[in-house]
Amino acid sequence: MIVGSQKPFEEIWDMVKDFKKVLVFGCNTCVAICHAGGGKEAEIIASMIRMKATQEGKEMEVKHAGIERHCEPEFFEPVMEDVKTYDLILSTACGVGVNFLSDRIGEIPVYPGINTSFYGGVPKAGVFTELCAGCGNCILHLTGGICPVARCSKSLMNGPCGGTNKGKCEVSQDVDCAWYLIVERMKKLGTLEKLSKIEPPRNWSSGWYGGPRRVVLEHIADLEEQEKKEA
């Protein structure tokens, strides 16, 4: 899931204070789980903006709404006509949602209400940990299912650095050394010999840092196009 955290209200207010009609637009999937940007959070932010506007003597119309996801047109298209009646959309979706909506809403600005943190898991209620960097070239089959790109502080690809100490990272004793975890995991799996193979230097330009990435599933695209023709 994508994990995020709500921006400080002072920053939010600075973004919205000069607009007359504001929609706080919640996303009820990933960021709702981490209590950053769902419909409930959008309602709270909208209330805070209204109170601040009253305190500052500003006339502002502030509403809130929420949809399942901001990253798929099928969810926001049914409400788009209403959304376009506002001067500003404060989206509490992740950065993907803000980008996606901005590309499709015309001349209305879409501002972020949260900070997108990372791709993570939920080991227990209220705790979110980064597990994946979305780098585009997954090597988890070589590292026991533990990602060194996201979980090693230096994103090392061929073993631990000299700073590892008793299974902890030199950055902090609260941070596990990813390569210690990888080795221990692969011992349990009986696949430790895989680490004897030196992986070549990674070509980051073909993945993570090679510009915006795109995945096209032709069979789905072709089927949708066919359905449109038959409609």
pLDDT > 70 fraction of the chain, expressed in percent and rounded: 93
Instruction: Note the Cα 97 to chain centre separation in Å.
Output: 9
Pairwise pLDDT comparison (19 vs 221), residue with the higher score = 19
Topology of 2-118 in CATH? Answer: Rossmann fold (3.40.50)
CA distance 144 to 197: 14
DSSP 35-48: TSSSHHHHHHHHHH
Model confidence at 197: pLDDT above 60: yes
Q: Which of 102, 130, 137 is nearest to 116 (CA)?
A: 130
Domain map (residue ranges) of the chain: 2-118, 135-198
Going by pLDDT thresholds of 50, 70 and 90, the confidence category of residue 212 is: low
Q: Average of pLDDT values for 168-194?
A: 92
Q: What is the pTM of this model?
A: 0.72
Q: Which of 117, 142, 156, 152 is nearest to 193 (CA)?
A: 142
Going by pLDDT thresholds of 50, 70 and 90, the confidence category of residue 134 is: confident
